[in-house]
Chains A and B, each alone.
Chain A
């Protein structure tokens, strides 16, 4: 551990730092110009700077990459870099997809809208790259507060206000639970540094590994706190209302950003911080049970929805269930295979969900409607959006040979390898995938087989078309180059274990 802050450590921080500075820039630019296009362009093109810094870190452009900085609070491992790239993709997709919609439906100045998104993205990136509990907590707040604001962005809409209030209250409660868990963990181990926590837990001299109830309580509370963020059942009840009430681009941001950030922090705490192995290694049982309920409930209730955003909310709950299957597989024996599955799944999930939501945003932008039956005949009214969205939904459903199928396969395979303990979970997961196909294909069927009430062509904003095109390209690229993704993700997954 370095004993002093040096300039190299700011290089390590530069991606997050430049995202925050970009947020300041966009916020300030708003004062000087009234042109929405310019502000948006700066926000989106400005992402090149943090991307460049991330690439420079990944390729060790300016010399060897520091392994950690700021007294171990910032980690320079592959895992951090993976999430940096992932969240930069999220920022790009969300900002691009929301350009037309924000102009049309949200009466806010663009500078505030994009800067809030950028600050949140900086928080998400930090959640993946910190190795210290307090920093994780503060980064989580930096992630969440902009999300509350985004939920209440359409200020004339009462549903949006309701969503924001609910989100704030539940978010505050989950943060409190999380913080309580961290406090208990600190109380037992005497440190907030995850690496040191892992050392304390695993060192035999303290003897706190076996049956330490306080540490167990701390771990459970932390899991519950993050359970809210990733919308795992039974902490999911906020998701449908807030997904429905919030402006659609914000919903996209919740469904990809918040979830990926939550999983980034969970894996960091439970795998890197060694909390998965507290109390005789039985924490995975809880995770497995939650995974089972989460995916079943999410997928079954998604069948009954009429609003597309509510359906996507339950679908994302179901996806969280699959991810938790992977987490259970990781926790049972602390293997990298489950992490590999999780990270791959998250990468594919982000790209496909951006595509799917681009379709919803496109429809909402053109017609102002967001029910499932409004998708009737979208294949004729706007063929490209319908095609792209169909592709994304099929990938989400896990239809081979798409990337979604393969990443899900990896998660289930990792769980299957762990032996009889998780076999039932894998079977349940496969059953759930079958259920999920029903509601995804329902939307597809409506888009391509049902005659629309109106046969006019929809005018979809160019930004949404572009987002859709890019995510279709992304999905196809991920499918073709799945092996390349695996090797990169593999090093990221392994880097979580290297320090032990």
Chain B
């Protein structure tokens, strides 16, 4: 079996990723679970780096590890006794969930291993939209793919996403606001 640096790195990161994901679910202390979530995000960023997607990797750390998880921690620490030994209790049907997860996971792994993929043989311009053009690296190409008006770009979903964020803000303010009597 051919072993190179990238595949060793992949397996190390993959094992950390899966282990930390399990910790998120299995940790009995909810703060520890949230901490494991940071590791999950970090390891996912590592996978992105292996895929030559530095921008996504950094943004993953910036947004998920840096902002989202800290808000989760915030919510936990401000709302409940996070020091408790069993602040993240199991559902009584955990064995059923585990069974379904194992079956589903196995099924997907089998399906991915036994499928023909067209992604490698793609030729149409739409299919090639994801290919890097080489100039300026992935950052420039990502920018073009997100909002270039002159070539294939996901500008419409990008703009819709801004409305989605606005709605979320409006909703958060509306629900979180104190009663004005």
Direct contact, A vs B (beta carbon within 8 Å): yes
Task: Describe B's contact surface by its main secondary structure.
Answer: helix
Given contacts A74-B156, A190-B122, A191-B122, contact A217 B117 (CB under 8 A): no
**Residues on B with beta carbons closer than 8 Å to the beta carbon of A205:** 121
Among the listed stretches A41-49, A143-151, A399-407, A482-490, which one makes contact with chain B, having 4 or more residues with CB under 8 Å of it? A143-151
**Which of B112, B124, B157 has the largest count of A CB atoms less than 10 A from its CB?**
B157
Q: Is B126 on the interface with A (CB-CB < 8 A)?
A: yes
Q: Is A37 on the interface with B (CB-CB < 8 A)?
A: no
Q: How far, in Å, is A411 (CB) from chain B's closest CB?
A: 32
**Complex-state Cα separation, A187 to B154, whole angstroms:** 18
Q: Is A27 on the interface with B (CB-CB < 8 A)?
A: yes
**Which of A71, A112, A126 has the largest count of B CB atoms less than 10 A from its CB?**
A71
Interface residues of A in 291-342 (CB under 8 A from B): none
Q: Which of B129, B149, B171 contacts A148 (CB 8 A)?
A: B171
User: How big is the B interface, by class?
Assistant: 35 or more
Closest B residue, CB atoms, query A24: B166
Given contacts A149-B175, A188-B118, A190-B117, contact A138 B170 (CB under 8 A): no
Closest B residue, CB atoms, query A4: B150
B124-162 contact mask (Cβ, 8 Å, vs A): 1 or 0: 111101100000000000000000011111111100110
Task: Describe A's contact surface by its main secondary structure.
Answer: helix
**Complex-state Cα separation, A140 to B150, whole angstroms:** 26
Given contacts A208-B115, A212-B115, contact A73 B154 (CB under 8 A): yes
Q: Is B168 on the interface with A (CB-CB < 8 A)?
A: yes
Sample of 18 A–B contacts (CB below 8 Å): A107-B179, A122-B163, A134-B157, A137-B157, A138-B161, A139-B160, A142-B163, A142-B167, A188-B119, A189-B118, A190-B120, A191-B129, A200-B122, A205-B121, A213-B110, A213-B115, A214-B117, A215-B115
Where the two chains meet, the residues of B that have a C-beta atom closer than 8 Å to any C-beta of A are: 107-108, 110-112, 114-122, 124-127, 129-130, 149-157, 160-161, 163-164, 166-168, 170-171, 174-175, 179
Question: Assuming A126-B160, A145-B164, A212-B116, what are 12 further A-B pairs, CB within 8 angstroms?
Answer: A1-B126, A3-B151, A116-B171, A135-B157, A137-B157, A142-B160, A149-B170, A188-B115, A206-B118, A208-B117, A214-B115, A217-B111
Where the two chains meet, the residues of A that have a C-beta atom closer than 8 Å to any C-beta of B are: 1, 3-5, 13, 20, 27, 70-74, 107-108, 112, 115-116, 119-120, 122-123, 126, 130, 132, 134-135, 137-139, 141-142, 145-146, 148-149, 152, 155, 164, 184, 186-191, 193, 196, 199-200, 205-208, 212-217
